[in-house]
Amino acid sequence: MPLPQFLPAEIFAFMAVFVRLGAAFVVLPGFGEAVVPGRMRLMMALAITLVVVPVVRTTLPPMPSAPGALVAFMFTESAIGFFLGGMARLLVTTLDTAGTIISTQIGLSTATIFNPALQSTGTLPSVLLSLGGLVAIFETNLHHLLLEGLVDSYTLFKPTDPLPVGDFSDAVSRLIASSFRVGLQIAMPFVVLSLLFTFALGLISRLMPTLQIFFVSVPLQLAGGMLIIVLAMSAMMTMFLTYFQETLTGLMGVR
């Protein structure tokens, strides 16, 4: 019996959209966290798929008649979904980079804790900035931009086109470089103040050789670093959200 009799065109359209969206929901920041139950992620992906299918129905190709072609099509769609979700996840690592640099400058590089935003161990400033960034994304409704990007991806990555592997690798390398640059820019005030603080300690050490400079510098470094984090948190989050929005808009082609 031909395959179309087992899998009607309507079910094929639903499954084609669900494969891309479901793959993206596995790694999307906020939606794809390990603390979010898998059943909840599945239900969200199914619900959003029901809404998106009528919108992108005209961009979907007819159902392949050969099982091999169907498997290849589903693999391509899932790869696109993982790529889109992974790129959004890479944007969040900008804050982890900034937090790692900050922790080195203020003397907290050895104080580590589990980072639920990246599912790995990170320093205290990294965890604070990463979780703060996720909260800020949802508070400012930028998660709507993620969902809009998934829908608009059917215009950018048409299901009938071959998988652009070369473009994917180029986009990933560029995003990693830009994320590191922005992370360094976010942490730059701490780098500059740390250099000035170290220079001042050097002068004091030369002027007062008998002073135990280590016991004086460490408490001041920690207290000053915490104070700067409190004062600069809003500016750091604003810079990250601006970068997140602009990069995601250009990447996913959100209208």
The predicted-structure confidence for 59-115, as pLDDT tens digits, reads as follows: 887 877 777 888 888 888 888 888 888 888 888 889 888 888 888 888 777 766 666
Among 149, 144, 18, CA closest to 87: 149
Give the per-residue pLDDT at 1: 45
* Residues 200 and 115: beta-carbon distance below 8 Å: no
Instruction: Give me the residue spans of the domains in the chain.
Output: 3-252
Q: Which two tokens stand for residue 72?
A: 């290849």
Low-confidence ranges of the chain (pLDDT < 50): 1
Give the per-residue pLDDT at 240: 92
What is the distance between the alpha carbons of residues 44 and 54, in angstroms, rounded to a whole number?
Answer: 17
pTM assigned to the model: 0.81
Among 50, 30, 51, CA closest to 40: 30
The helix, strand and coil proportions of the chain, stated in percent and rounded to the nearest 5, come to 80, 5, 20
What is the distance between the alpha carbons of residues 115 and 160, in angstroms, rounded to a whole number?
Answer: 39
Give the per-residue pLDDT at 2: 53
Give the per-residue pLDDT at 4: 52
Give the per-residue pLDDT at 159: 81
